[in-house]
């Protein structure tokens, strides 16, 4: 759990994780030099539950570095990023872990999920999140790009697949991450609603800005995806995927120009 100033929401997140019916896990909390009561709250929870390892960073290193830190510190067979404003059904980990145990060719498991607005307690269902189950990795990538889901970044993953990865700092990097994993193995999506993606605002535009200059840079996603496609896919698939990629980026730009709402990406 990478966190910065999570005081208003972290109670719910911690309670829903620590009461999971699957209890054999370590919860690494990396506090990115919070200025609110996050540290106090986490230390209180850690004093009561030995599964929690709380680390406070000396300075705020930025979100990407904090997400990378908890990945690098993890030792478990499976790994999941847990946002401090999210909530999980009590059987979420049990059902997700079961899939990874039973299906050796699956690298990531997710489920249909709900968006939870903290301020109003409004819940919006997000059904029909698609899996990527083909034996052909290029087809799995096509399936991901046709049904992009930023919240899939918070799925349960086989750690061996990502233990050496270095997270990239650009907008839509959450989609790039899911695309990358689709090339490494199958992605299962359960139909149960097991995860609530917390949103702090009620209904405003939620666009993630590039850290360097405050501007959205879909070209960074475009560039990194081109590299990934042409490195991993056969030439005919690479050509088809490149065309699909250009159409996808065009839809991103239209979303932004219309003031559309970006799905969750903390």
Give the residue among 134, 68, 80, 70 at the shortest CA–CA distance from 108.
Answer: 80
Who contacts 37 (Cβ-Cβ below 8 Å, separation ≥6)?
Answer: 7
For residue 171, pLDDT beyond 60: yes
Residue 265 clears pLDDT 50, i.e. is over it: no
Q: Which residues pair with 195 in a beta bridge?
A: 88, 113
Q: CA–CA separation, 130 vs 148, rounded Å?
A: 9
The pLDDT, as a whole number, for residue 201 is 61
SS in 3 state form for 21-52? Answer: CCCCCCEEEEECCCCCCHHHHHHHHHHHCCCE
Alpha-helix residue ranges (DSSP H) falling in 49-106: 63-73, 92-102
User: What are the pLDDT digits (tens) for 196-222?
Assistant: 999 876 444 344 444 444 454 678 999
Average pLDDT over residues 251-265: 57
The yes-or-no verdict on residue 173 having pLDDT over 70 is yes
pLDDT digits (tens, 9 = 90+) for 102-133: 999 999 999 999 999 988 888 999 988 999 99
Is the pLDDT at 3 greater than 70? The verdict is: yes
Segments making up each domain of the chain, as ranges: 79-257
Return the pLDDT at 169: 87
Is the pLDDT assigned to residue 259 strictly greater than 60?
no
User: What token pair was written down for 211?
Assistant: 């850290």
pTM of the predicted model as reported, rounded to 2 decimal places: 0.90
Give the residue with greater pLDDT, 79 vs 201: 79
Return the closest-CA partner of residue 1 out of 36, 59, 44, 51: 51
* % of the chain residues with pLDDT over 70: 88
Q: For residue 244, is pLDDT > 50?
A: yes
For residues 67 and 59, give the distance between their C-alpha atoms in angstroms, rounded to a whole number.
14
Averaging pLDDT over each range in 68-72, 127-131, 257-261, which range is the top one? 68-72
> Would you say residue 252 has pLDDT above 90?
no
């Amino acid at each position: 759990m990478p966190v910065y100033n999570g005081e208003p929401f972290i109670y719910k997140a911690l309670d829903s994780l620590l009461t999971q019916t699957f209890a054999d896990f370590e919860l690494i909390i990396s506090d990115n030099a919070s200025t609110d009561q996050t540290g106090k709250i986490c230390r209180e929870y850690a004093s009561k539950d030995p599964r929690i390892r709380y680390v406070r960073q000396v300075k705020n290193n930025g979100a990407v570095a904090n997400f990378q830190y908890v990945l690098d510190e993890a030792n478990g067979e499976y790994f999941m990023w847990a946002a401090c404003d999210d909530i999980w059904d009590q059987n979420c980990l049990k059902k997700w872990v079961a899939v990874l145990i039973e299906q050796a060719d699956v690298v990531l498991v997710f489920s249909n999920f709900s968006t939870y607005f903290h301020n109003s307690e409004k819940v919006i269902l997000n059904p029909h999140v698609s899996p990527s189950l083909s034996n052909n990795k290029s087809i799995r990538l096509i399936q991901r790009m046709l049904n992009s889901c930023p919240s899939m970044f918070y799925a349960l993953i086989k750690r061996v697949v990502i233990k050496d990865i270095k997270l990239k700092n650009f907008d839509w990097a959450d989609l790039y991450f899911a695309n990358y994993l689709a090339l490494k193995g199958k992605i299962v999506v359960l139909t149960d609603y097991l995860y609530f993606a917390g949103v702090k605002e009620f209904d405003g535009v939620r666009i993630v800005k590039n850290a360097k200059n405050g501007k959205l840079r879909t070209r960074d996603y475009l560039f990194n995806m081109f590299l990934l496609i042409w490195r991993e896919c056969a030439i005919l698939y690479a050509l088809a995927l490149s065309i699909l990629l250009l159409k996808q980026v065009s839809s991103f730009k239209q979303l932004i120009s219309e003031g559309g709402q970006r799905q969750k990406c903390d």
